[in-house]
Amino acid sequence: MTRLLIVGPQGSGKGTQGVRIAEAFGIPAISTGDVFRAAVKDGSDLGEQVKAIIEAGDLVPDELTSAVVRDRLAQADAEGGFLLDGYPRNIVQVMHLDEFLEGRDEQLDAVIELVVPRDESIERIARRAAEQGRSDDTEEVIANRLAIYERETAPILDVYRTRTIVDQIDGVGSLDEITERIVAALEARGLVRDAVV
């Protein structure tokens, strides 16, 4: 039973590392960004609601986002644990998640904070923009998303720090090196992985 959260600015590699860590611990990686992008692609009701917001790099309303996450966490594969990527993203969402987990008599075991210098994350976002052509990877939208991260998301780490569950991980290096750093930090907390990555 491992319940994790990975936090980092855009371009920190949290999506990639999140998937790797989830695999190592045998838990689903749940990325709200991926859920929203899939909904937009499918043209579902949810997609219609969030399309313009995502394209502007703004945050989807908290109630809607938290409802999406609650639905996802209620699925059978998240019973044995999960890794959240991109949620919670502000203090209100932290409160929503706390409430949900308390209702299940659960709590987060660890919060992985991926630390990457601003220049490096901007470079990585630019590379991803060239490779994947994400509509929210334009210069103006990137600046907005980074500003929102600093203003709204970084403060959630202070909340989790008071609970002593934050592991700060240097996010510069090869993919494997970074994965190893994260796994080592989680193992030091007594969390047990079930696959070799």
Please state, in angstroms and rounded to a whole number, the distance separating the CA atoms of residues 106 and 177. 30
Minimum CB separation of residue 84 from ligand AMP in Å reads 9
In the set 3, 14, 20, 37, the catalytic residue is 14
60 is a contact residue toward ligand AMP (CB under 6 A):
yes
Give the integer Cα–Cα distance in Å for 86 and 9: 9
Q: Which residues within the stretch 76-95 sit at the binding site for ligand AMP (CB under 6 A)?
A: 86-87, 89, 93
Are 142 and 10 a contacting pair, CB within 8 Å?
yes
128 classed as catalytic = yes
Comparing CB distances to ligand AMP, the nearer of 67 and 188 is 67
Contact 22, 191 (CB under 8 A): no
Q: What is the size of the binding site for ligand AMP (CB under 6 A)?
A: 17
**Options 3, 20, 37, 145, the catalytic residue:** 145
**Other C-beta atoms within 10 Å of 170: how many?**
11
Residues 3-42 that bind ligand AMP (CB under 6 A): 10, 32-33, 36
Does residue 88 have a cis peptide bond before it, meaning omega lies within 30 degrees of 0?
Answer: yes
**Residue 2: its H or E element:** strand 2-7
Active-site residue, 145 included:
yes
Residues within the interface to ligand AMP (CB under 6 A): 10, 32-33, 36, 53-54, 57-60, 65, 86-87, 89, 93, 136, 145
